[in-house]
Each structure stands twice: as structure tokens, then as C-alpha cells.
Amino acid sequence: MHINTKFIHGGISEDKTTGAVSVPIYQTSTYRQNGLGQPKEYEYSRSGNPTRHALEELIADLEGGVQGFAFGSGLAGIHTVLSLFEPGSHIILGDDVYGGTFRIVDKVFVKNGLEYTIVDTSNLANIEENIQENTKAIYVESPSNPLLKITDIQAVAELAKKHNLLTLVDNTFATPYLQRPLELGADIVLHSGTKYLGGHSDVVSGLVTTNNQELASEIGFLQNAVGGILGPQDSWLTQRGIKTLGIRMEAHQKNAQAVAEYLENHEAVEKVFYPGLASHEGHELAKKQMSGFGGMVSFELKNEAKTAEFVEALKIFTLAESLGGVESLVEVPSIMTHASIPKDKREAAGIKDGLVRLSVGIEYVDDLLADVKQALEKVGK
């Protein structure tokens, strides 16, 4: 089945009791049991809920996992996955990951005995050099947030297998429409469903899936034991969003390519980061590993001091954190999404204070280009 069909009919797409073609919102915390010790299919909504289950089956289906898990946010999913590791374990973490991912490792898990090393995972040698005796996993974002670095997932997974490590891939920027990390050898895929999967900036959710039954059992145990589950209403919204993921991603990336090319040719712009540009370091790898380049574009102005003026001059691009919704957003990672990464670490990864990140929406492209043009004109060269 083509993935565009799976978005609509994959996982559980109908209500088996009524035949409703949209899975109903089962807004219940608990379920009547047949007798003592004889629950029906569900017993309590933290442990399982039909609306959430439909979404969980869907993400597993889309990514090629054996089981899916839905959480109250992307970070709740990340928390559960990182809870797989015993104190004293070490992980390798991409140097250019979402600020909240760095923060949960550095400020939450380190307290509980997790060790980590930050490396630029787009260079395999960096990873290999930093594998230690207690290393248990390699955590990668590809494309990364916010520099759109591309990591060779297949090569990382091969290296990881050689050293008995898990490969964890945050697939939020690519979505299963453009990239399926489990097929490339990864063990666990994570998503902020808040972004492209939900797609309309109206829900916060997190999704995780794996193709390893043993890991699935451990994640399932932790999901119930820790309890950071997604509620039925937000499960429904996320599944509703996924139905149109294919057509949205096509529109996002078409617009993003046009915006990236426009920026690259503008005299006020220093550098553009978009994997769809031939000038991007990861362009060839992205062509091989992904079926498109996605909707995120970052760039630097020649005159960094004009960054605030530029983002405030935009009219259609809204100054806001988040990404992946139908509406175009703009933000400055150093002050907004990646403020929790210390400046020296941000700069070592290449995230300058003046970096601007665009989530290119699906509006009419000429309107987006005109908006960028007028804002660039205001800031001059």
C-alpha cells in the first residue's frame, strides 16, 4: 500500500463497533469489566485507550514498527525512551538537536546517572571516536533542528550494530513521508507529533515506534508506569492531521525550495541551510536517504545586528516557536527554541546568535516570497 493510502487507511482507521470512518474520541478514563479479574480489551485509559491505540497502530504502520506509543508531547516520548538506559550508561547525542532534547539529557537524565557526549553526527568518524565502553545508544536528528544537518542513518545503524548500540532517530523534520529510519536500520523512531504529523499547530503530542519486540515491551511498560500518555482528543487530532500528511509535505517542500533559492540569491543573506540546495553539505545524502527535502529552512543575514528587525518585519511568517503547521512561522533559535543550550555549545555546533529558522507553510508561494522580500528590503544589505 502506498504511504499516502496508509495515512488514511493505515493502523486502525475505523471504529470496529459502529463502522464510523473516523475513529471516535473515546473520552473515558476507565472501562466496565466482565467480572473480577476479567477486563474487556481495555481496563484503564493510561494503560490503553481505543482512540490512542488507533494512532499508535498508525505510527507503527507508517514507520514499519511492531508497536507504536503516543505521548502527551514529543519530550514525554523522549523521556520514556531515555528511561530505557540504566544509570551509568552513556549515549552519543547530535550536537545540533532540538534545545529541549539537549535540556532533558543535560538537566534531567544526567542527574539520574546518564552520561553523554555531543558530536556532529553528520560525520561518522566523530561518532566512532566517541564510543565508550558504557555507550548504549546513538541519538540522531536528521534533518537536524535547526541547521538541517543530514546524518547517514544507515551508516550510523551499521556502526551501532557493530558495537551493540541502539540507534535512536528523531524523525520529526522528515516525517515517515520523506524518510523511514527503521528501514535504514534504526531501532527506535521518535516524533514530536506537534509538528508535521499534527500539522495544524493545534495539538501537542509525541509518538514513538520500534521494530524490536523486546524494546516495544520495555517502552510499553514505561509508558504505562510513567504515564505520560496522549489523551483521546489529542490522539484524534494527531490522527486527523496525519491523513493529509502527504499532500501537506509536498506543498511545504515546494514552497521551502522556492524560499531557500530566493534567500540564497539575495545580497543581504550570508548563508542558507536547506538540504534541497546543491550548496548544502548533506544534499547528496539527503537525495539518497529521503524522498524530498522537507519544509524547514534556516539562514543567516550578512548583518546579524538586523536579525530582530527582519523577523519583526515579516507579516505572513508569524514569529513563534514550533514548526510543521500549515502556517509559516519564523523564529531565532538562540533566543527561542535552542535557548536552553549554552552559547558555547550552540556556537560549536554552528548555531550562531543571528540564525533565523523558517517553517515554510503551505500558503501561496508568491505571497511568502513577497513577505521575505519586503522584510529583507527593510533591513538592507
Ligand X SMILES: N[C@@H](CCSC[C@H](N)C(=O)O)C(=O)O
Q: By the criterion CB under 6 A, which residues form the site for ligand PLP?
A: 73-75, 98, 100-101, 141, 145, 170, 172, 192, 194, 204, 206
User: Which of ligand PLP, ligand X, none is residue 179 near (CB under 5 to 8 Å by kind)?
Assistant: none
Q: Which is nearer to ligand X, 358 or 375 (CB)?
A: 358
Minimum distance of ligand PLP from residue 82's CB (angstroms): 12
Q: Does 328 bind ligand X (CB under 6 A)?
A: no
Q: Does 81 bind ligand X (CB under 6 A)?
A: no
Nearest CA to 179 among 57, 62, 297? 62
User: Please, which residues have CB within 8 angstroms of residue 11's CB and are 6 or more apart in sequence?
Assistant: 54, 55, 56, 57, 58, 59, 60, 61, 62, 68, 239
**Closest residue to ligand PLP: CB criterion:** 74
Q: Which is nearer to ligand PLP, 79 or 306 (CB)?
A: 79
Q: Rounded to an integer, what distance in angstroms lies between the CA atom of residue 250 and that of residue 232?
A: 28
* Catalytic residue flag (residue 352): no
Q: Which is nearer to ligand PLP, 98 or 310 (CB)?
A: 98
User: Which of ligand X, ligand PLP, none is residue 170 near (CB under 5 to 8 Å by kind)?
Assistant: ligand PLP
Q: Rounded to an integer, what distance in angstroms lies between the CA atom of residue 14 and that of residue 4?
A: 17
Pairing relation of β-strands 356-359 and 329-331? antiparallel
Minimum distance of ligand PLP from residue 360's CB (angstroms): 15
Q: Does 98 bind ligand X (CB under 6 A)?
A: yes
Cell of 235: 490522539
Question: Phi first, then psi: what are they for 266, rounded to 5°?
Answer: -95, 135
Minimum distance of ligand X from residue 131's CB (angstroms): 28
Q: Give the side-chain half-sphere CA count within 13 A for 280.
A: 27
Q: Rounded to an integer, what distance in angstroms lies between the CA atom of residue 207 and that of residue 77?
A: 6
Minimum distance of ligand X from residue 338's CB (angstroms): 8
Q: Which is nearer to ligand PLP, 11 or 193 (CB)?
A: 193
The piece of 1-9, 273-281, 288-296, 319-327 that touches ligand X (CB under 6 A) is: 319-327
Q: Does 349 bind ligand X (CB under 6 A)?
A: no
Q: Rounded to an integer, what distance in angstroms lies between the CA atom of residue 342 and that of residue 361?
A: 30
List 141, 184, 337, 355, residue binding ligand X (CB under 6 A): 337
Task: Please say whether the beta carbons of 286 and 156 come within 8 A.
Answer: no
Q: Does 294 bind ligand X (CB under 6 A)?
A: no
* Catalytic residue flag (residue 170): yes
Within residues 118-157, the interface with ligand X by CB under 6 A covers: 145
What is the signed CA dihedral for 198, 184, 97, 90, rounded to 10 degrees? 130
Q: Rounded to an integer, what distance in angstroms lies between the CA atom of residue 255 and that of residue 261?
A: 10
Q: Which is nearer to ligand PLP, 54 or 207 (CB)?
A: 207
Nearest CA to 120 among 93, 102, 98, 143? 93
- Interface positions with ligand X (CB under 6 A): 98, 100, 145, 321-323, 337, 340
Q: Which residues are catalytic?
A: 46, 98, 170, 195
